[in-house]
């Protein structure tokens, strides 16, 4: 069984509902489950009628919930970056750290990194305690960006590592020619070079996250019987394939019946299993209704993946 599960899709298709339903049903059957909301517009707590925070709250036997405080993770990320810059550029008294950090706060990537570090933290702290960790994701744009972040950042880090290796090689050449050379300041060997080891550290952290998405995660795209949510689901699949992150299945939610709409989704997603959850005419009002949503096949597919 894969350790993590992510539910993706357009706003309103039922990501929170289906992820809650799967988490709740799997826990009722005896496995320990943690459900985590990454959506800044938290409404996971409402589904269970509970107040969720950054710390674990019990939602029933073998089921706990967390709502990630994204703003707190952004502050933590900025603080870490600040410390790191201060540490690495101690000799540059001219850098105005405060204004740099203010820019970083509004820079592309900050929110994505905050989500990534939150996922990394949840994975590290809680993976041993649970059989499954279910993530209710934020809107598609942010989800795609944080899933893409490890591979894209890895490209940068590889380039920078290559450049750093060249600099170290050049230093070695100069030293061979003239062991007294004053132009060679700083380390010449990789394991003594602070920047090289910092890059290696970032690289292994990002590789770890990419591996979590690629190998340890079950990804489902939720769609409804309408063209817009289907178009968005196809876009998600396409974007993720470019990053070598594969989705595992499609969940057609709010289906009126086993009819034409399922065929249409299956036609668009050949090679992927499509599971249907029917529309509950009275809506989903509380935790008891989660048991009424049919996620049997989706749940079994998730449990069956190793």
Ligand X SMILES: Nc1ncnc2c1ncn2[C@@H]1O[C@H](COP(=O)(O)OP(=O)(O)O)[C@@H](O)[C@H]1O
Min. distance of Cβ 233 from ligand X in angstroms?
Answer: 12
For residue 254, state whether it binds ligand X (rule: CB under 6 A). yes
Question: Residue 289 forms beta bridges with which residues?
Answer: none
Among 1, 12, 204, 241, binds ligand X (CB under 6 A): 12
Q: How far apart are CA 213 and CA 217, in angstroms?
A: 5
Of the candidate residues 4, 5, 8, 15, the single one contacting ligand X (CB under 6 A): 15
Q: Which stretch binds Mg ion (CB under 5 A): 14-22, 139-147, 193-201, 293-301?
A: 14-22
Which residue of 27, 151, 220, 253 would you call a contact of ligand X, by CB under 6 A?
253
- When CB distances are held under 5 to 8 angstroms depending on the partner's kind, the choice from ligand X, Mg ion, none that residue 210 binds is none
Cβ-in-10-Å burial (0-12, 13-18, 19+) of 175 comes to middle
Q: Establish if 279 lies at the interface with ligand X (CB under 6 A).
A: yes
Task: Choose between 123 and 279: whose C-beta lies nearer to ligand X.
Answer: 279
Does residue 14 touch ligand X according to CB under 6 A?
yes
Residue with Cβ nearer ligand X (38 or 114):
38
Name which position in 16, 151, 153, 220 contacts Mg ion (CB under 5 A).
16
**Backbone phi and psi for residue 217, each to the nearest 5 degrees, phi listed first:** -110, 140
Q: Which helix (H) or strand (E) holds 5?
A: strand 4-8
> DSSP secondary-structure letter at 3?
S
Q: How far is the CB of 39 from ligand X (least distance, A)?
A: 7
Is residue 282 packed enough to be buried (19+ CB in 10 Å), middle (13-18) or exposed (0-12)? Answer: exposed
- Per-residue CA distances from 3 to 34, 128, 264 (Å): 10, 10, 31
At 54, which helix (H) or strand (E)? none
Count CA atoms closer than 13 A to 7's CA, side-chain side: 32
Smaller CB separation from ligand X, 12 or 208 = 12
Residue with smaller CB distance to ligand X, 15 or 299? 15
Residues that bind ligand X (CB under 6 A): 9, 11-17, 43, 253-254, 277, 279-280, 283-284, 293
Residues that bind Mg ion (CB under 5 A): 15-16
């Amino acid at each position: 069984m894969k350790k993590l599960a992510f539910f993706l899709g357009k706003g309103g298709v039922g990501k929170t509902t289906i992820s809650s339903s799967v988490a709740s049903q799997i826990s009722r059957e005896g496995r320990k489950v943690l459900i985590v909301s990454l959506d800044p517009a938290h409404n996971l707590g409402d589904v269970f009628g509970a107040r969720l925070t950054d710390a674990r709250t019990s939602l029933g036997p073998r089921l706990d919930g967390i709502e990630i405080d994204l703003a707190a993770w952004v502050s933590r990320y900025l603080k870490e970056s600040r410390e790191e810059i201060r540490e690495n550029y101690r000799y540059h008294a001219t850098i105005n750290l405060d204004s740099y950090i203010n820019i970083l706060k509004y820079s592309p990537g900050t929110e994505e990194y905050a989500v990534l570090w939150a996922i990394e933290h949840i994975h590290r702290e809680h993976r041993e305690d649970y059989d499954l960790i279910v993530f209710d994701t934020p809107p598609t744009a942010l989800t795609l960006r944080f899933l893409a972040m490890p591979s894209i950042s890895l490209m940068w880090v590889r380039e920078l590592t290559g450049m750093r290796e060249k600099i170290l090689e050049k230093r070695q050449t100069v030293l061979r020619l003239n062991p007294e050379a004053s132009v060679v300041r700083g380390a010449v060997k990789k394991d003594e070079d602070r920047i090289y080891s910092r890059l290696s550290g970032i690289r292994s952290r990002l590789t770890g996250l990419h591996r979590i998405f690629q190998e340890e995660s079950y990804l489902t795209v939720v769609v409804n019987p309408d063209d817009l949510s289907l178009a968005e689901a196809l876009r998600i699949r396409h974007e993720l394939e470019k990053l070598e992150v594969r989705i595992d299945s499609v969940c057609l939610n709010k289906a009126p019946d086993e009819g034409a709409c399922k065929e249409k989704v299956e036609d668009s997603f050949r090679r992927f299993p499509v599971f249907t959850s029917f529309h509950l005419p009275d809506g989903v009002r509380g935790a008891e209704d989660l048991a009424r949503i049919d996620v049997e096949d989706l749940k079994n597919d998730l449990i069956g993946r190793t």
